[in-house]
Chains A and B, each alone.
Chain A
Amino acid sequence: MLLTNLEIVPGQRIVKHLGLVQGSSVRAKHVGRDFMAGLKNIFGGELKGYTELLQESRQEAVDRMQEQARAVGANAVLNIRFSTSSVTAGAAELFAYGTAVVLES
C-alpha cells in the first residue's frame, strides 16, 4: 500500500476516491520512563524514552489507518496528516488520517 502526504501521485491516475480513513492510538508512559524524564527536566536534553514511545504509538496509528484503508479496498492513502493531542495528564493521543483511493495499476 502506498502512503504519502502528497495530494496527487506523479505519473499515476486516481481511479476511485473512497473517502477519509483514520487511525489513532492513546498511550500513557510508564513510571520508569516518567522518573527518568523528571531527571532530564533538571538537566535538559532529549527525552529518548518519550521519543520512542511516541514513535511507536504513531506507527500504530498509521497501521490502524492502513488496515481501514485495506478494508474499504484502497491501494493507496494520500494526503496523510498527523496530529497529537493530550487527552489527560500523562497520556497522549496520536492521530493519523488521510484519503483512501484506488490508483490505476
Chain B
Amino acid sequence: MVDLIVFLTLLALGYFFGRLAESRHYRSIIRREKALARIPAIASKIPSPDLHPQQTVLVTGSVVISVDYFKRFLAGLRNLVGGRLKSYESLVDRARREAILRMKDQARIKGASLVFNVKLETSSISQGRRENSIGSVEVLAYGTAFIN
C-alpha cells in the first residue's frame, strides 16, 4: 500500500513538473532560435570558395537532459505494445535544439557569422544498477565558426 502511494506520488510529481519544465524549455528554445537565426548552422563539409574568413574557431555546445518519472513509466508501457515513443522523441528533440543553440551562442560571443560542418553526437548516460534505465541523453553539437 505504501509502495503504491509512493509510486503514484512520484508519477504525479513527474507529470506536473515534467510538463512545466518541458513547456518552459520549448518556449525558451523558440525565443532563442529566433534571436540566433542570423547565424546559420551549415552541415556541409566544404565551404564555398568566396568565403574568406579572417579566422576560424571550433565551437561546441552540449547539454544533458533527463526525462521525468511519468514519461519513463509511459515509455515502459509503450515497450509492451511497441510503436512510437513520443515522450522520448520530445526529449531528444529538446536536447538537440538546445545543444545547437549553445554552440551558436558561443559562435555569437566570438563574433562569427556562420558555423560550418556542424556535427551532432548523441549518447545516453546510464544510471548504472538497473538495466534499461536510460533516463538521460547527452547531445554535443560542434562545428567551425567563421569570423569575418
Chain A window 74-105, contacts with chain B (Cβ cutoff 8 Å), 1 for yes, 0 for no: 00000011111110011010000000000000
A45 close to chain B: CB less than 8 A: yes
Enumerate A28-51 residues with CB–CB distance to B below 8 Å. Answer: 37-38, 40-47, 50-51
- Whole-angstrom CA separation of A50 from B140 in the bound complex: 13
Q: Mark B104-148, 1 if CB is under 8 A from A, else 0.
A: 000000000000110101011111110000011010101110000
Is the CB–CB distance between A11 and B52 below 8 Å? yes
- A17 to B: closest C-beta gap in Å: 18
B46 within 8 A of A: yes
A53 to B, closest residue via Cβ: B64
Contacts of A46 in B (CB 8 A): 25, 63-66, 98
B63 touches A42 (CB 8 A): no
**Chain A residues, Cβ within 8 Å of B135:** 41
Closest to A46 in B: B65
| B129 near A47: Cβ-Cβ < 8 Å | no
Contact bitstring A41-81, B, C-beta under 8 A = 1, else 0: 11111110011001100100000000000000000000011
Secondary structure class of chain A's binding surface, majority of residues:
mixed
Q: Mark B17-34, 1 if CB is under 8 A from A, else 0.
A: 110011001000000000
Tally of contact residues, B, Cβ under 8 A: 48
Output the least CB separation between B19 and chain A (Å).
9
Q: Is the CB of A81 within 8 A of B66?
A: no
Interchain pairs with CB closer than 8 A, number: 129
User: What B residues does A9 contact at CB under 8 A?
Assistant: 56
Query: In whole angstroms, what is the CA distance A40 to B56 when docked?
Result: 37
Please report which residues of chain B, range 41-68, place their CB below 8 angstroms from some CB of chain A when the two chains form the complex: 45-47, 49, 51-53, 56-58, 60, 62-68
State the CA gap A54–B63 with chains docked (Å).
9
Minimum CB distance partner of B121 in chain A: A82
Are the C-beta atoms of B62 and A44 separated by less than 8 Å? no
A8 at the A/B interface (Cβ < 8 Å)? Answer: yes
Chain A residues at the B interface, C-beta cutoff of 8 Å: 2-11, 37-38, 40-47, 50-51, 54-55, 58, 80-86, 89-90, 92
Mark B residues whose CB is within 8 Å of A: 10, 13-14, 17-18, 21-22, 25, 45-47, 49, 51-53, 56-58, 60, 62-69, 71-72, 98, 116-117, 119, 121, 123-129, 135-136, 138, 140, 142-144
